[in-house]
Chains A and B, each alone.
Chain A
Amino acid sequence: MEIQNIKLPVQFRVLPNGPLKAIGKFTILDENGKKIEISDEAYFCRCGASKTKPFCDGSHKSKLG
């Protein structure tokens, strides 16, 4: 049996009424095209209210009530 390439692709998971969770190896470029250093996980703001964009800071909870 051939050995399959088991490297998993990056996953983007929509969290209910919350951020977009990214899992895996990926590169983030900020609005100026500069690399943002992260580990293998990031939570991206989806509501527009975060003070730490592009990442989630939990602001959606107060925005959505």
Chain B
Amino acid sequence: MMDSSDRDYSNEEITVSWRPGKCVHSTVCYRELIEVFNPRKRPWVNMNGASTERIIEIVNKCPTEALSFKWKDESKNSSLNDKSNKLNKASESASQTGVKPVIVQVMRDGPLVVQGSFEVYNSEGKLLKTMLMTSFCRCGYSNNAPFCDGFHRKIGFKSDK
């Protein structure tokens, strides 16, 4: 579903689509390719920062549907694996086999990034959702608590203080 905050970024070969509503701030994109994905810059995606192959590699590492891409040459798109299908399959297989080990990665000056099979309960003890990947706010300023919304960058959250 399109959202007004969604953005497209293109070079001569591909268009990268950015859906902020889907982002869980795993930080994979900018930790691996800051030349292209730099949240401190506007626009935050610089399609001239790396080769098309490298950009595709990182887009494919995005754990959610927040980043996706399409070839400008339509005939190449039929061979693309639909990422949402992949994700749905991943969550199906996780629910069938039950458990994927959970890793909580503490991000410097950022959130807790959690991967694996896990459940999230709200402050009333109600099950919010069963998830495979998310990030939890550590700075106290997220408007989407308990999840991260990237606001830690705006307030200059320092995790060593």
| A interface with B by C-beta (< 8 Å) | 5, 7, 9-17, 20, 22, 24-31, 33, 36, 42, 44-49, 53-54, 63
Q: Which A residues lie within 8 Å of B28 (CB)?
A: none
Q: Given A11-B118, A17-B123, A48-B138, 14 other A-B contacts at CB below 8 A? A: A5-B98, A5-B99, A7-B98, A12-B120, A14-B123, A26-B104, A26-B116, A27-B102, A27-B104, A28-B103, A44-B104, A46-B140, A53-B106, A54-B112
Interface of A, secondary structure class, is: loop
What is the minimal beta-carbon distance from B151 to any residue of chain A, in angstroms? 11
| Interface check B23, CB cutoff 8 A | no
- Which of A20, A27, A48 makes the CB contact (< 8 A) with B101? A27
A46 to B122, CA, bound (A): 13
A26-B116, A53-B159 given; A10·B140 CB < 8 A: no
Interface of B, secondary structure class, is: loop
Q: Which 3 A-B pairs have the closest CB atoms?
A: A26-B102, A48-B140, A16-B123
Q: Which B residues lie within 8 Å of A36 (CB)?
A: 106
Q: Are B121 and A28 neighbours in the complex by a CB distance under 8 Å?
A: no
List residues 87-142 of chain B with CB under 8 A from any CB of chain A.
97-99, 101-108, 112, 114, 116-125, 130, 136-141
Smallest CB gap from A50: residue in B = B138
> Interface size of B by Cβ–Cβ distance < 8 Å?
35
A25 to B117, CA, bound (A): 11
| B interface with A by C-beta (< 8 Å) | 97-99, 101-108, 112, 114, 116-125, 130, 136-141, 145-146, 157, 159-160
Q: Which B residues lie within 8 Å of A27 (CB)?
A: 101-104
Q: Which B residues lie within 8 Å of A11 (CB)?
A: 118-121
Q: Which B residues lie within 8 Å of A42 (CB)?
A: 104
Q: Are B136 and A12 neighbours in the complex by a CB distance under 8 Å?
A: yes
A3 to B122, CA, bound (A): 30
Q: Are B106 and A28 neighbours in the complex by a CB distance under 8 Å?
A: yes
A59 to B138, CA, bound (A): 13
A46-B146, A47-B140, A48-B141 given; A12·B103 CB < 8 A: no
